Amino acid sequence: MSLLERMDKHEIRELLGKCWITHDGMWFAHTLSAYGIEEANRLNRAAIKSMAEIELKRFMRILNVSRDDLKAFQDFRKFFTGVQSLLLPDFMNVTIWFEAPAGIRWAFSEKGCFAYKGMKRAGVETDYRCGPLYRIQCWLKNLEIPYAMTPDITTCIMPEKGSCSGRFQCEFR
């Protein structure tokens, strides 16, 4: 029996997620070492923006939906909920949920944000520009869904607040 046959869906999602985040973390660490935090943040956000557009297209194709299909709150909610079951492994310690008529909430568990933990190990947690929430912002921008983010996070708020939670207030049709 192959490894793939021995693993259940949850184990596969967790393993692939950890491999992806390890690559992401190592890329960031090497970029930080070579170019400093400002350039690492800039390049990280550029990569996230490019990736978000590509992954969004892939998921829309797989789920057979168009951009127009995602303009209503319930349709976007169904799409995002399906995608997050694949993209957000348990170790990321985040919960995302929807509040009608147009809210998307997030909260990192008491275990804390996985990205913050990495930035703290690197000693740059106060200067790190949040990547995980920027990814959601890029999805919304790519889909042309207007939103306001509370709190408006650019740099990581974990060092100051000790937690990270908030809301995207979107404008769906």
CA-based R_g, the chain, Å: 17
Rounded Cα gap, residues 109 and 91, in angstroms = 10
pLDDT in tens, 30-76: 999 999 999 999 999 999 999 999 999 999 999 999 999 999 999 99
pLDDT in tens, 125-143: 999 999 999 999 999 999 9
Give the list of residues 6+ apart from residue 118 with CB closer than 8 angstroms, or none. 25, 28, 29
Instruction: Give the pTM.
Output: 0.93
Find out if CATH 3.30.1380 is the number for domain 3-170: yes
Rounded Cα gap, residues 76 and 62, in angstroms = 15
Question: What does pLDDT average to over the chain?
Answer: 95
For the chain, which residues make up each domain, given as ranges?
A: 3-170
Question: Mean pLDDT over residues 96-122, rounded?
Answer: 94
Rounded Cα gap, residues 97 and 167, in angstroms = 10
Give the CB-side neighbour count of residue 23, counting CA atoms within 13 A.
Answer: 6
Percent of the chain with pLDDT over 90: 90
Taking the CB of residue 79, how many other CB atoms lie within 10 A of it? 19
